[in-house]
A and B are shown apart, each in its own frame.
Chain A
């Protein structure tokens, strides 16, 4: 106890942080998410290639192995991969790729590679990881058209992860606004909104999503489709949050500290911003964090079913859609790698949400 100041002396923010830090898994998840969001934000830089660039020399090529030792045993500090030799087996019609030890493709970091438009702002050439011109690097292999899976995952991260975030923000706005209105006004309005939520929640989500996204016109630009998918997903998701917000509002309205503030003559605005919001903001953040993976999974599901985002937009769902057949499992299992990223991100968000929930209420539960 002597090393630690008394927790009563600490600010709420500091307490929350201390409590959150104790949740090691949540901490790690947070770190992982920051890392992967950074990659998503700077995906042009992290991906060695454009997502739709095709390497005709590598159709359905397996992942390349990193080497430090050459075939003759020479060590070199700079990692390298070997190029493929392709042979279509006349018996099995399988494209057989073998490492061609005469083709050494050294890997360069922070070096010049394929040209790209960074955030549509300026043209750049530097990549986090790249090879010399005419050489290639496929960390996770390639797909049926020879596109680099790793690059596609990195670009797909931007779409899938941002879609989760933007979707949740939209959900929050809708949920807090409508739920708050219901909780604050009560009576008929509350009744009406509650029944509306029940109707919306009673519709099976998947068919509804499918119907709505099938209604997205085919000639819309990829960006238009992207935002329409977000709207469609948020359209259902806000209901849960609105319920929670309304419940909190109703409950907090009658809490002692709110009554006390009111009796002390605090204005309506001060009560809401100073007393009501802080006490359930933590809760909302937690709910939102837990809702993001739901969004990501929903987008993945829609795209997997072929009614979500459309090529040439690359999202993790679009990538998984290509991997949904038997052939992939038998012959080209590396096409399933995007699934691993979906799983990791969803788990990370859930663990983070878990940690946040504990940390959000630093005065409750067990002591430090």
Chain B
């Protein structure tokens, strides 16, 4: 059923399909196993419209000839401020099928600002299917991988426009490549894969990248993170010194309060909260106005997709997004029906509150499946400067002791109503890289064994204060700094500290804010920190196995920065890792460049097996339920979906088809 059957396959696409399916995972064999191995954590794909499970069809394929103007824009069209819908839509727009019925136009959706990426998801060049296993065309129609993955050619659909009416063309991708990723000021340390790469414009809609080394995973990247790899070049030129006078630009930027043009450029370019109103976008909605407490979005008049009646999407006219920092206030507002959609900052343990809201406020609480391999993973800093602590962290017995000292079943019952899965951070069970023992390694609760391992390491309570000390008598205390964000980290860590205290380990918790998390994690200063193990699907695991291989530096991890720096700088900086870590990096180096699906699976499993055996990071509960709150009037939201960074939360479930019932 999941055998992708596009209506017309070009030779390029055929080749892509062969090449990308390994990258995207789930060949027909695994598809066959889908139902056989089905657990509570998996979703039956039949709940989604069948058209979602293949690439989107276009108007010409469905014989749609008449396109309808949204009433919201009619006046502007009449006044001549906006071209008619025929001219705004691409030549052959993609058609989206809603879950229930084609909607009606109008209304303002109320959301929290933290859900802006979920209600108004990215429009990537390629997209991901609802099962998070396949990659489908989106604004890019065709692609070809040649020269053993060293050359990749993309062809865009005709007539797609940015929200300011400028066409989306090859220049936008070339601009990103030449003036952003290869600009030494903007990207001082580029991903090594881009070093020495070239871009080539073939015609307005066709472009090509050449890489020194094979980079087949660019396809995954274009599907998951693709919005980052294309820039509205006509608009962004005014902020780039390659195109405008540098002095004048810097003067302008100083007035905005930024220290450099790069800082300003990144602030408006990345999907941050700082995006200026009217910045061109491809998403369904366009930011119009922003205040300290609110953001207002209007429908993107140039959004490139339609429904089967020829109505331009989205159905909803406006979004009013309220900025709320306090998660408790947010949960309370969501539970009392004060928004139409809420999910991102909602916590599993608040389900009873939300369910109460079903009765009293008429909201609907949907249960989506989180893609996190583990909601919380603990990262002991293996590169910490403190020599004593470093020796302890690098001892496998210590990490094993940390893991088996945790009572995951009790944790699952306390936080997750027994609806999560106790597991180590590893890929999801439907991934082709998955083996059950990767998830179950050292998850058995065994405090006695933990004590034995710690005693073997000569970590014994020497001053009889109830906590273990170093062999030289110094106190062993560990400070765990964490950002309470996205998953229930606070309560999990409260439990973890109490389990670890029971085996005599003195852990101090400290909550930090995002800025501190970023600066301290990237500098490798934290003794221990936590994140959620995303990148667990066939889309992102091969591309960014950051929990399993030192190959990335970011706010998400702080456990082996010096080793990652060594790899990323090709040995110039950082610290030479031990042999087993070099082995991991070598495996991944080959995986990322290989175009042989079997070899890729083999290497991926080797990497994951190493994590299961060495516990580079320690997992808790994964595949947990995610509350998604929908108001009574918001229609067409799919009842179940996979929730996570890997599929950009809602991207495969087409929020552009959601509508507000009158």
Contact = CB atoms under 8 A, between A and B. Distances in A.
Given A91-B355, A144-B349, A56 B414 contact: yes
Contact of A311 (B329, B417, B477, B494): B494
Contacts of B414: 56, 59, 144-146
A119 interface: no
A6 interface: no
Nearest to B414: A59
Contacts of A306: 511
Contact of A219 (B331, B410, B479, B511): B479
A242 B537 CA distance: 66
B417 A88 contact: yes
A5 interface: no
A94 interface: yes
Given A93-B351, A146-B414, A325 B328 contact: yes
Interface stretch (A182-190, A253-261, A262-270, A326-334): A326-334
A52 interface: yes
Contacts of A218: 479, 481, 508, 510
Contacts of B511: 306
Nearest to B354: A93
Contacts of A59: 413-414
Contact of A94 (B332, B352, B497, B509): B352
A92 to B, nearest CB: 4
A223 to B, nearest CB: 11
B495 interface: yes
A220 to B, nearest CB: 9
A88 B348 CA distance: 14
A364 interface: no
Given A326-B328, A326-B331, A93 B494 contact: no
Given A56-B410, A59-B413, A145-B495, A92 B356 contact: yes
A241 B159 CA distance: 78
A332 to B, nearest CB: 9
Contacts of A145: 414, 491, 494-495, 498
B353 interface: yes
A331 B331 contact: no
Contact of A327 (B331, B413, B491, B494): B331
B350 interface: yes
Given A327-B328, A327-B331, A93 B417 contact: yes
A146 B418 CA distance: 16
B335 interface: yes
Nearest to B367: A93
A134 interface: no
B501 interface: yes
A312 interface: yes
Nearest to A144: B491
Contact of B498 (A52, A95, A326): A52
Interface residues of B, number: 30
A88 B353 contact: no
A54 interface: yes
Contacts of B356: 92, 94, 330-331
A219 B508 CA distance: 7
Contacts of A325: 328, 331-332
A61 B519 CA distance: 41
Contacts of A146: 414
A327 B329 CA distance: 10
B480 to A, nearest CB: 10
A331 B510 CA distance: 28
Interface in B329-362: 329, 331-332, 335, 349-353, 355-356
Q: For chain B, what secondary structure do more than half of its interface residues adopt (helix, strand, loop), or is it mixed?
A: helix
B330 to A, nearest CB: 10
B410 to A, nearest CB: 5
A191 interface: no
B272 to A, nearest CB: 26
Given A145-B498, A146-B414, A327 B353 contact: yes
A95 to B, nearest CB: 8
Q: Which of A146, A219, A306, A324 has the most CB of B within 10 A?
A: A219
Contacts of A94: 352, 355-356
Interface in B501-523: 501, 508-511
B335 A326 contact: yes
A326 B349 CA distance: 13
A310 B498 CA distance: 14
Contact of B355 (A54, A93, A310): A93
Contacts of B328: 324-327
A95 B418 CA distance: 12
A91 B365 CA distance: 11
Contacts of A93: 351-352, 355, 417
Interface in A108-164: 144-146
A191 B576 CA distance: 64
Contacts of A330: 353, 356
Nearest to A90: B417
A312 B479 contact: no
A3 to B, nearest CB: 61
A93 B352 CA distance: 5
Interface string A212-246: 00000011000000000000000000000000000
Interface in B577-621: none
A145 B510 CA distance: 19
Interface string B17-32: 0000000000000000
Interface in B451-469: none
Contacts of A91: 355
A311 B355 contact: no
Contacts of B495: 145
Interface string A77-90: 00000000000100
Contacts of B477: 219
B479 A88 contact: no
Contacts of A95: 352
A91 B352 CA distance: 9
B353 A326 contact: yes
Interface in A90-105: 91-95
B517 to A, nearest CB: 14
A327 to B, nearest CB: 5
Nearest to B332: A326
A326 to B, nearest CB: 4
Nearest to A331: B352
Nearest to B495: A145
B349 to A, nearest CB: 7
17 contacts: A52-B498, A56-B413, A56-B414, A91-B355, A93-B417, A94-B352, A94-B355, A94-B356, A144-B491, A219-B477, A219-B479, A310-B508, A311-B509, A325-B331, A326-B328, A326-B332, A330-B356
Interface of B: 328-329, 331-332, 335, 349-353, 355-356, 410, 413-414, 417-418, 477, 479, 481, 491, 494-495, 497-498, 501, 508-511
6 closest pairs, A vs B, by CB?
A326-B332, A325-B328, A93-B351, A218-B510, A94-B352, A92-B355
Given A56-B413, A331-B352, 12 more contacts: A59-B413, A88-B417, A92-B352, A94-B352, A94-B355, A144-B491, A218-B479, A218-B481, A219-B477, A219-B508, A312-B501, A326-B353
